[in-house]
Each structure stands twice: as structure tokens, then as C-alpha cells.
Amino acid sequence: MSLEKEMAQFLKSNKKRYHRFLEASMEKYKSLGSIGGSIYLDKLNDGERSLLCKIDSKYISLDEAKITVKKFLSVFKNTKYADADIIEVLKIYFNEELKPNREIKEEKQREKEEFFNLLLDEFKGTKAFDWLSYSLFNKTYGYNILIKQYEKNKEDFRIMLENVLKAVNYLNYDKSPKRLAIFASFISKDPHYFDEGKAAFTLLLSALSFLSNIIVPENSEEKSGLLYSFGILKDEISNFTVCASIKAFTMDGEHIGIKGFCDMVEPLQLNLWNLSNIKDIICKDNILYVFENPSVFSEVLERTKSIKPSLLCTSGQLKLASLIFLDKASENVDKIYYSGDIDPEGIYIAYKLKQRYKDKLIYWRYDNKSYKKMKSKIKFDDRRKKQIEGIEDKELKNLIDEVLKEGCCGYQELIIDKYVEDIFGDRVF
């Protein structure tokens, strides 16, 4: 039996006296990469106190001790274990391959680089490669998820990442409409593979954001919009918009179902599924009137049935379906009149739509005169105010100044008569 094994056995048979010293010494070795440093023990037991008294008798009455590792090891100086290799003793005692933390960290880093390099080699020359290499190098677009999943379970993660990379390349090549669950089944044989909240979904979203050169979206509508731009339909039934008196055309000609609602002058819900099959949207007189609030939309529709103007209701915050409708309609209309509440949210939505549709979008009754008629006694707080303080738009400047000064919300229900007059042509736009 080697001297080191014999010493390790001796120490194991006297654990109450030696174990905590050895444990602390091992941690110091891992931290420093060599035998050294200081160790601290509290709540000393009688065996530990007796051992320390071999170094200094002052420990006989102390409950804690701070000594150097080398001073602790000096207790073996005049014993038969004096020449034992203490590092080898620690390896045998703890039954583990003792390595400094720095060495362990370097090995883990090499393993991680090898893991990702194998995947990068497999997908070299593809869009998936572009995303993964950029993410790893710049520590963005899903980097934290990549590392977290790698550290959680490498083998499971390898399968997940391969599926995500395959999905990215497929979507970059084929952007035809496809349902998320069906696409997930095609990639992984699991319809819930890309369910929101799962790591695979987050990584897919990060990769598609990189390919689109945008910040990774956080809210549901923006996520759905990004997926839709690659042909993926998410929430295709529940995400809808409401319109009236429009014509729609598919690849096969006019949509007869929508024509029926148009003929009856009744409101129609169009969801993402419906919109994905529509090629063109045509509005009467090449004008589309857009309302933020459902009650205003319904009332205006009822009062203007006789002339069948083309109307759209966005129902507050813009859903993806409303944006897709507007995108398709904007290709054919001359003007889009947008109306909404005159409050921070309403003004901000109008501004964002103006940025998107440029000169085709007209701010409809977003002026001081209309605000005076719409103004309520309901105040908005400073948090909401910040939404419009940074807007730079010459057409909205006077209105924003007035709204910020008054601090009150204006509701479009109060000027329904004016909207109806405008549509019948009593106001020159």
C-alpha cells in the first residue's frame, strides 16, 4: 500500500478530527491551483480543537480558528506521513480527480466550443449558421438561452438546437402559409414543440429576429407578426379584425363569402387564416375609414349603410390581423383615414401607423378643435404621458402640446356625428 493510501485511510478513520480541515484545504487548492491560502472553521469540536493545540495551545479555549493550509499540514511534519503527496492524499480521500477550478473552467469552455463548432460545421453556409455564429460571438439574439440549455442537458439540447436550425433554414426558404403546430410536427414530430414559453420557441424567435434585423419582440402581437412574415400562422383563429363593405380577391378571383357580407352591409370578422388566402383588398372609392373603437365603428356603419363606405375596426391596440389587412389594403387605396381616442395611447397608435403608411394615412380629426369636443374629465398619469412626449410629427405637434397641457383623455364616441358628416362629404378632407 502506498504512503498516500495509508494516510488517506488514517484520515478517514479520524474524520471527526480531520475532515473539515481537509475539505477546506481541497477547496483552497481548487481555487488557487496549489496548496496554500487560509482556511476558517467555526464551532470547533473537541477533536478539531485538540488537533489545533498541536500548533498553538491558544486554541484550547476557542470556538473558531483561522489558519493557513500549510500550518495545518505542519501537524504531520514529524509523523510517518511527512513525505506523503498531499494532493494525491486528497484525491484518494475524496475519491475524485482533483483539479483547480481554473483548469476545470478551461476544460468546460473547450467542451462548449467543440459542441457548438460541430453544429456550426454541420450548418455552414446557411442562414441558421449566420444566426448561431452571430449569437455566440456577440452574445445576443438568444445567447443566454443557448448557454442555459447547454448547461442544463447537453444531449437534449443538441437535438433541440438541430431542430431549431433546421426550422430556420426551412422558413428562410419557404415562406408559404403554414400553421405553427403543423410546422412543429414536421420539424420534430411534436405539435407543441414550438409552443410559446418553450426554449425552442424562444430560440426560433431569436433567429428569425436576427434574419429580419429587428429586436426580439416581447409582446404577443409582435411575435405573431414576426412569425407571419415567415409564413407561420399563430393564433390564426383568435387573431382577427373587423371590417365592412370591402371587396377581397384570392388567386381564384373575388371572395364570394366576403362579397355576401359586403352586399348585406354587415360587419365581417377576418382572422389570420382568412387573410392568408387573400391577395388583394379593394375599398370603395379607394378610401378606407379606420376606427379604433368598436362602438364607434358599429354606429358609423349603421348610419352610413346607404353609401357603403369601406370601414375597418382595430379594437384598440393593433392586432396583427388589423396590420395585415391594412398592408394589403394600402397597396390599392389612395387614402386611409385613421381615427381614434385622443389620449396618449390613441395618438401613439396613429403616429406609428403614419410611420408605416406614410402619405396614404390621414390623421382623421386629430386636431385641437376635435379634441376640445372629445375631451373628458378623465386624467392620464405621467407614465402614459411619456408615450407621446418624444413624438416628433409636425401634424401632431399642436395637438400633443394641448393634450399634455390639459392632461385629459378625449373619446371619439363624442364626435360620431362628425365622422358621419365627413363620410357623407360634408367636410373637405
List, for residues 60-92, the tens digit of each pLDDT value.
777 888 888 888 888 888 888 878 888 787 777
What is the per-residue pLDDT for 146? Answer: 96
Q: How far is CA 386 from CA 60, 173, 237, 375, in A?
A: 68, 41, 34, 19
Asked if residue 128 and residue 14 are part of one domain, the reply reads: no
Residue 1 has pLDDT above 70, yes or no: yes
Summarised one tens digit per residue, pLDDT across range 19-68 is 887 888 888 877 877 788 888 888 888 888 887 788 878 877 778 888 88
In a domain, residue 389? The reply is yes
Please state which of the ranges 47-61, 154-168, 184-198 shows the lowest mean pLDDT. 47-61
- Identify the domain boundary among 76, 98, 120: 98
Asked if residue 215 and residue 87 are part of one domain, the reply reads: no
178 close to 231: Cβ distance less than 8 angstroms: yes
- Identify the domain boundary among 213, 233, 253: 233
Q: Which grid coordinates belong to 174?
A: 419557404
Asked if residue 412 and residue 268 are part of one domain, the reply reads: yes
pLDDT above 70 coverage of the chain, percent:
98
Band (316; pLDDT cuts 50, 70, 90): confident
In a domain, residue 341? The reply is yes
pLDDT above 90 coverage of the chain, percent:
61
In a domain, residue 429? The reply is no
Please state which of the ranges 80-84, 222-226, 290-294, 358-362 shows the lowest mean pLDDT. 80-84
DSSP labels, 249-275:
EETTEE-HHHHHHHHHT--EEEEHHHH
- Identify the domain boundary among 190, 218, 233: 233
What is the per-residue pLDDT for 428? Answer: 40
Residue 126 has pLDDT above 70, yes or no: yes
Residues 6+ apart with CB under 8 A from 29: 35, 87, 90, 98, 100
Q: What's the mean pLDDT in 163-171?
A: 96
Summarised one tens digit per residue, pLDDT across range 243-258 is 999 999 999 999 999 9
Q: Which grid coordinates belong to 8?
A: 488517506
Domains identified in the chain, total number:
3
How far is it, in rounded angstroms, from Cα 170 to Cα 211?
Answer: 13
Residue 97 has pLDDT above 80, yes or no: no
Asked if residue 363 and residue 251 are part of one domain, the reply reads: yes
Residue 427 has pLDDT above 50, yes or no: no
Instruction: Provide the domain limits for residue 125.
Output: 104-233
Q: What's the mean pLDDT in 151-174?
A: 94
Summarised one tens digit per residue, pLDDT across range 376-385 is 999 988 888 8
What is the per-residue pLDDT for 18? Answer: 79
Residue 360 has pLDDT above 60, yes or no: yes
Does the predicted model carry a pTM greater than 0.85? no
Asked if residue 124 and residue 203 are part of one domain, the reply reads: yes
What is the per-residue pLDDT for 210? Answer: 96
Indicate left, alpha or beta for 93 from its phi (over 0: left) and psi (-120 to 50: alpha).
alpha
Nearest to 427 by CA among 367, 360, 375, 350: 367
What is the rounded average pLDDT for all residues in the chain? 90
What is the per-residue pLDDT for 382? Answer: 84
In a domain, residue 318? The reply is yes
Asked if residue 196 and residue 216 are part of one domain, the reply reads: yes
Q: What share of the chain is helix, strand, coil (3-state, %, to 5)?
A: 60, 15, 30
Asked if residue 304 and residue 265 are part of one domain, the reply reads: yes
What is the per-residue pLDDT for 334? Answer: 95
What is the per-residue pLDDT for 141? Answer: 95
Asked if residue 146 and residue 74 are part of one domain, the reply reads: no
Residues 6+ apart with CB under 8 A from 355: none
Asked if residue 339 and residue 263 are part of one domain, the reply reads: yes
Asked if residue 340 and residue 278 are part of one domain, the reply reads: yes
Asked if residue 274 and residue 192 are part of one domain, the reply reads: no
Task: Identify the residue with better confidence: 96 or 411.
Answer: 411
Residue 318 has pLDDT above 90, yes or no: no
